[in-house]
Amino acid sequence: MNMHAQPQRTLAETALIDAFGERLSLLPGDGAVMVKRDDAIEAIKHGLPTRRVESWHYTDLRRLLTKVPAFEAGAVVKALAPVLEGSAVMPVLNGVSNAKLPEIEGVTVQRLSEKLTDGSVAPGLDPYGDDDAIGALNTAFVADGYFVDIADGAVLEKPVELQNLQAGGQSHVRLLARVGAGAKAIVVERQAGEASEDGEALVSSVSQLVVGDGAEVTWLIVQEQPDTATHLAQFKAHIGKDAKLTLFVMNAGGRLVRQEVVVRTTGEGADFKLRGINLLAGETHTDTTMVLDHAVPHTTSTEVIRNVVTGKARGVFQGRINVHQYAQKTNAKMACNTLLLSDDGEFSTKPELEIFADDVVCGHGATVTEIDHNHLFYLMARGIDEKSARGLLVKAFVAEVIEELDDEALVEALEERLDGWFSTHG
Amino acid sequence: MLEIKNLHARIVDDGTEIIRGLNLTVKAGEVAAIMGPNGSGKSTLSYILAGREDYEVTEGDILYNGQSILEMDPAERATAGIFLAFQYPMEIPGVATMEFLKVAMNEQRKARGEEPLKVPEFLKRVKEAAASLSMDMNMLKRPLNVGFSGGEKKRAEILQMKLLEPKLCVLDETDSGLDIDALKIVSDGVNALRSPDRAIVVITHYQRLLEHIVPDSVHVLYKGQVIKSGDKSLALDLEANGYAGVIGEAA
C-alpha cells in the first residue's frame, strides 16, 4: 500500500476500518491468517490509493470509493445457469460457498472457509506489491470461496464455472485453483449480481491460479455486475514450463470496476494470452490493469484488449510487461483498441515495457477510432438500416477477439453474452 | 425505371464538381453500359446512385420508378431495390459473411412486409447462388470479404446481388481484377438476372465485359456528362478508335 500520510480518513476508509473491528470475531482463520488480516487492515489504515500512486493514477480509489455498504446482503441470490452449457457450477452466494461440492473426476474441491480455518492458505494472502489495495481489502475480509485442485494429467470434459454472485452488501471472495502437470481445463469465473434495494454493493474477489508444467488452461472472467456494484478484482497466475494459459476477460457491468491481472511465467516455454473486452456504458468507471512478468527465458505472450465506450463511461487499460534480465528470447505483443462511440466517453491506455534482457521481441500499440464510414456505407447499401449496421460493426469490433478463441462452444456462448449487452445498451 | 435529369454533384469535403449536368434514362429490362476514360465520373455516379454521403447533389434529380431518391439514405434505396456492386468491395473483419447475408436479406424482406427467411430456406438459397458462381461455401464462413482475392470479392458481390434480387443493378467495374474464367462466371451470373422488370447499369472501361454482357445501350461519360449515346456498336467503335474521337466530336 502507499505510505502517504492521509490528512483525514474518508467515510469509506473509516467504514472499512470499523467494519473490520466488528467482523473480526466472525472471520474464519487461524493465527497465521489473522496476522495477514492485521497487516492488511494496517495497510488500509494508511489510506486507499490516490492518483498520486502511479498504478492507481487513472483510478483514484480514495476519491471514487465514496460509500461502503453494510455487510449484510439486501436479498437472497440464486445460482445462475452457466455461461457454457453442461458446466459444473460452484456458486458463492452473497460471499458464502455451497456446502454441497460437485463430484468431478480428477478434481478435488474444498470450501475456502475451511482452508482459512486451518490456515493452509495463509501464505497466499500476502500482497503482491506495495500498492496492492485490492489484495489488502480482500485479505482483511475474505471469508469464503473455493479451492479447486485439478490432478496431474486430468483432462476435464466439462468446464468448471465458479460463480461469485451478490445481492448488495459486501462480499469478499477468493477462488483458488491448481491445475496439475499436463492437465487441461476450461474455467469460467462469473462475477455478477442483482441490484439490491438500498442500491450498493462492494465486492472484492481474488483468483489465484497455478498452471502446472505442460498444462493448458482457458480461464474466462465474465463480469456482469449491476451498476450499483463496486467490483474490485484480481487474477493472479503462475505459468509453468511449456504450459499455456489463455485468460479472457469480459467486463460488461459494474459502476466502479478494477480488474487486475498479475501473471508470471515461471517455466521455459510458457505461453500467456490475454484477451479482453470492455463494454462500457452509463456513468461507469472500468479499469483493467495487467502486470506481466516474463521471469524466465523463452516465454511468449500476446495481449489484445478491445473497448467499446458509450455514454459518459470511462475506461482504463494499463499493461505492464516486465522482462527480467535472464528472460532472453521473450516474445511479447500487446494491443489495445478502442471504439469511442460518444463524445462524453473516455478511455486511457498506458502500455509499459520494462526490459532488462537484450535478446527479446516486445511491442505494443494502441488505437482509438470511431466507426468506419466506408464500412457503414457498405452495410447500408445492402439494405441494413443505420442503427442495425452500426450495431453489427460495433459487435464485429469486439467479436474478433472472441472468435480468436477458436472453440465453437466458447465463441457462441460469449457472443450470446455480447448480444445480451448490446440488446440493453445498443 | 431510372431517370437522371441534369444532375450536378460535388465532393462534400472540397467542393469539387464531378457530375456536371448528366442526363440518362434506363428503362426496365434494359442493360445500359456506361463507358468513359478515367476521371470522367463513372464511379462517382455509382456512389451517388447508392447514396454515399461524401457527395452532394447540387442540381437536378434522380428518379427511380418516377420518385426522387435524393432524400433517401443508402439503406432505404437498397430496400427499394437499388443495388451497387462495388468496384472495391469493403473488407469488414468480425462480420461473418453468412450472418451479414442473413441480416441483409431479412432487412429487405422486412421493408417489403415479408416474413424473415427460415434458416433452411436461407441456406438453400445461398448454396444455390454460390454453386452457380462456382463459389466455395467455406469462403462464406470467413468474415465479410476478408482475405478474399480480387476475383472472389467480385463474385461475392454478384452473389449478394442474386440473393437480394434488386430491380436496378449498378455494376461498377465488376470486370476489373477478373481473369477470363472468372469474367465468364460473373457475366453469366449477371446475364441470369436479366429480366423484363429489371434494369442493369454496367460501368466499365473496356469493351471486353460487354462481349459477355451484351448491352442494349451504350453511353459515354466525359467530364461528368453523357456526351454520346448509342447501341452496342458504339462500344466496338470506342474499342477500335479510343475515346478521343467521341470527345473531339462533343467538344
Question: For chain B, what is the radius of gyration of the CA atoms?
Answer: 18
The half-sphere exposure of A321 on its side-chain side, counting CA atoms within 13 A, is 27
pLDDT at A1 over 70: no
Record: contact A382-B104, CB cut-off 8 A: yes
Record: contact B74-A374, CB cut-off 8 A: no
Residue B160 confidence class, pLDDT cut points 50, 70, 90 = very high
Same-domain check for residues A272 and A355: yes
Q: How many structural domains comprise chain A?
A: 2
Same-domain check for residues A189 and A260: yes
Same-domain check for residues A355 and A389: no
Domain assignment present for A61: no
DSSP, res B142? S
pLDDT at A3 over 60: no
Residue A36 confidence class, pLDDT cut points 50, 70, 90 = very high
Given A342, A370, A398, the domain boundary residue is A370
In three-state secondary structure terms, A213 is coil
Kindly report, residue by residue over B29-63, the tens digit of the pLDDT. Answer: 999 999 988 889 999 999 999 999 999 999 999 99
Q: CA B42, CA B173: separation in Å to the nearest integer?
A: 9
Q: CA A343, CA A309: separation in Å to the nearest integer?
A: 10
Q: How many structural domains comprise chain B?
A: 1
Same-domain check for residues A95 and A135: yes
In three-state secondary structure terms, A80 is coil
pLDDT of residue A294: 96
pLDDT at A52 over 70: yes
Same-domain check for residues A132 and A218: yes
Contact criterion met (CB below 8 Å) for A86 and A410:
no
Contact criterion met (CB below 8 Å) for A71 and A23:
yes
CA distances from A322 to A296, A352, A365, B156 (A): 11, 8, 16, 46
Domain assignment present for A247: yes
Same-domain check for residues A189 and A320: yes
Record: contact A393-B73, CB cut-off 8 A: no
pLDDT of residue A338: 96
pLDDT of residue B242: 84
pLDDT of residue A54: 94
Among partner residues B73, B90, B111, which is closest to A374 by beta-carbon distance? B90
Q: CA A217, CA A220: separation in Å to the nearest integer?
A: 10
Kindly report, residue by residue over A285-304, the tens digit of the pLDDT. Answer: 999 999 999 999 999 999 99
pLDDT at A88 over 80: yes
CB of A383 less than 8 A from some CB of B: yes
pLDDT of residue B251: 66
pLDDT at A163 over 80: yes
Contact criterion met (CB below 8 Å) for B46 and B172:
yes
Residues of A in contact with B90 (CB under 8 A): 374-375, 378
Among partner residues B50, B92, B100, which is closest to A381 by beta-carbon distance? B50
Q: Which structural domain, as residue segments, surrounds residue B235?
A: 2-250
Given A370, A387, A418, the domain boundary residue is A370
Task: Supply the angle between the helices B119-132 and B180-192 in degrees, to the nearest 10.
Answer: 130
Contact criterion met (CB below 8 Å) for A206 and A238:
no
Kindly report, residue by residue over B80-103, the tens digit of the pLDDT. Answer: 999 999 999 999 988 989 999 999
To probe the interface with B, which of A372, A374, A377, A416 has the most B CB atoms within 10 Å?
A: A377
Average pLDDT, chain A: 94
Domain assignment present for A240: yes
> Whats the size of chain B, residue-wise?
251
Kindly report, residue by residue over A346-382, the tens digit of the pLDDT. Answer: 999 999 999 999 999 999 999 999 999 999 999 999 9
Kindly report, residue by residue over A109-155, the tens digit of the pLDDT. Answer: 999 999 999 999 999 999 988 899 999 999 999 999 999 999 999 99
Same-domain check for residues A283 and A424: no
Q: CA A40, CA A132: separation in Å to the nearest integer?
A: 10
Q: CA B187, CA B185: separation in Å to the nearest integer?
A: 5
Domain assignment present for A60: no
Q: CA B24, CA A201: separation in Å to the nearest integer?
A: 67
Query: Which three cell numbers, joined as nine digits, stand for A271?
Result: 505461453
Q: CA B106, CA B115: separation in Å to the nearest integer?
A: 8
DSSP, res B164? H
CATH code of residue B69: 3.40.50.300
Domain assignment present for A58: no
pLDDT of residue A18: 95
Kindly report, residue by residue over B195-235, the tens digit of the pLDDT. Answer: 999 999 999 988 888 889 999 999 999 999 999 999 988 88
Record: contact A383-B51, CB cut-off 8 A: no
Residues of B in contact with A389 (CB under 8 A): 75
Element of type H or E holding B153: helix B150-164
Contact criterion met (CB below 8 Å) for A188 and A162:
yes
Residues of B in contact with A392 (CB under 8 A): 95, 100, 103
Residues of A in contact with B106 (CB under 8 A): none
What's the pTM value of the predicted model, to 2 decimals?
Answer: 0.86
Q: Which structural domain, as residue segments, surrounds residue A400?
A: 373-426
Q: CA B23, CA B2: separation in Å to the nearest integer?
A: 10
CB of A99 less than 8 A from some CB of B: no
Residue tagged 455498504 (cell numbers): A69
Record: contact B104-A383, CB cut-off 8 A: yes
